[in-house]
Amino acid sequence: MLGIIIGVASVITLVSIGQSSTQSVTNEINNLGTNLLTVNVLDTDNGELKDTDVEAFKKLNGVKDAAPLVSGRVMAKNGQTTTQVSVTGTTSSYLTIKDLSLTNGRFLADIDNEYRQKVAVLGSETAQTLFGVDNPIDKTVQLNGTSYKIIGVLASKGTSIGQSGDNIIITPLSTAERLLQTLTIQSVVVQAKSEEQLNFVEFALERSLNSIFHNNTDSFSVTNQQDLMETMSSVSKTMTMLLAGIASISLLVGGIGIMNIMFVSVSERTKEIGIRKAIGAKRKDILTQFLIESIVLSGLGGLIGVGLGFSTVKIYSMITSSTPSYSLSIAAIPFLFSLVVGIVFGVFPANKASKLHPIHALRYE
């Protein structure tokens, strides 16, 4: 039974954790926005994006808004506290496109970008690291040795696809270009008016980018949140099925164990079988007896495995603070599989027992 218990519990645990991970990834991507497209510049040899190109993107049919981005890593310092942090240079549109909110202060304004103001909006984790419990609004932070006035603090966004949205500093695009010593817009986040218009907007963007980069499609990429979600879900499902397949081997091992034990049982109970057949038991009666024993062993092991599996998933969710994924199919499939294993591997010893001749069985020593 131990092999059946371990096998069923392993399948339930791995499939539940896999489904939970898939759902978590889906929720993270949905939180980023299902109507967003990201334009990434991969090579500037054939062209580069400019502010005028971003303004042209905003005028495309189906586009609600767009925000250019430049990003990099800098050293942020406040007093004796120093940390490396990600800096993103963008415009005022970024707040609504990415659905951000503030706990204190304000976000970037168009005038900040126009006059290259040295102002910064801190992520919640960055604010906590540099200023602790103090309110950082109107204070300054050193970015690569240059002072920036803090005008706002973002509400926590958590981690999305392995990247923290809280360990960040946002500055005006023009200011970030000078800070990071770049004049090239690295990417643009484009918001479609609706999810239904996403494919149309993607096609329009690719047509515009072909014109900018002289039809060199290797110089840019346009990523769709839906495509990303499908890819991540596909990978998660594949890994879940692979792990479940590996765990199912334990079920087969358990079935072989049941078969071996039943063979031993047949040998030890040969006289019992002979007596039963001598007083009128038919072959099907003996076959049914040993088959039921095999099914009971595997079924009981399956039930214990289901309970153990759900308990393991519950403990895992408590440790990782994740949401467990339970469903009837998660428990039913491995349990039914354990019964099938019991039937299949119980047939051989049961068949052997049923074929014993009563005279030979009674003489067995």
Question: Which among 158, 178, 176 is positioned nearest to 167, based on CA atoms?
Answer: 158
Question: Mean pLDDT across the chain, nearest whole number?
Answer: 85
For 9-40, write each residue's pLDDT tens digit. Answer: 888 888 888 777 777 766 666 666 668 899 99
Position 236 confidence tier, pLDDT thresholds 50, 70, 90: confident
Q: Is the pLDDT of residue 106 over 80?
A: yes
Residue 330 CA to residue 316 CA, distance in Å, equals: 16
Q: Which three-class secondary structure state does DSSP give residue 319?
A: helix
Report the sign of the C-alpha dihedral through residues 184, 189, 192, 196, in that order.
positive
C-alpha distances in Å from residue 62, one per residue of 90, 197, 204, 273, 347: 22, 6, 9, 80, 65
Q: Is the pLDDT of residue 50 over 60?
A: yes
Place of tokens 């469903």: 327
Q: For position 144, what pLDDT does the model report?
A: 94
Position 160 confidence tier, pLDDT thresholds 50, 70, 90: low
- Nearest 5°: the CA angle 198, 203, 207 is 145
For 273-326, write each residue's pLDDT tens digit. Answer: 778 777 887 888 888 887 888 888 888 988 998 999 889 888 888 887 777 777
Q: For position 257, what pLDDT does the model report?
A: 79
Enumerate the domain spans of the chain: 2-26+232-363, 67-187
* 223 DSSP β-pair partners: 38
Residue 198 CA to residue 226 CA, distance in Å, equals: 9
What residue ranges in 173-309 does DSSP mark as E strands? 187-192, 220-224
Q: Pick left, alpha or beta for residue 191 (phi over 0 → left; psi -120 to 50 → alpha; otherwise beta).
A: beta
For 245-270, write each residue's pLDDT tens digit. Answer: 777 777 777 778 777 887 777 777 77
C-alpha distances in Å from residue 170, one per residue of 76, 181, 201, 320: 12, 16, 27, 30
Q: Average pLDDT of 328-333?
A: 80
Check residues 70 and 238 and name the one with the higher pLDDT: 70
Q: For position 361, what pLDDT does the model report?
A: 60
| Residue 272, φ and ψ in degrees, nearest 5 | -60, -45
Token code pair at residue 189: 């986040």
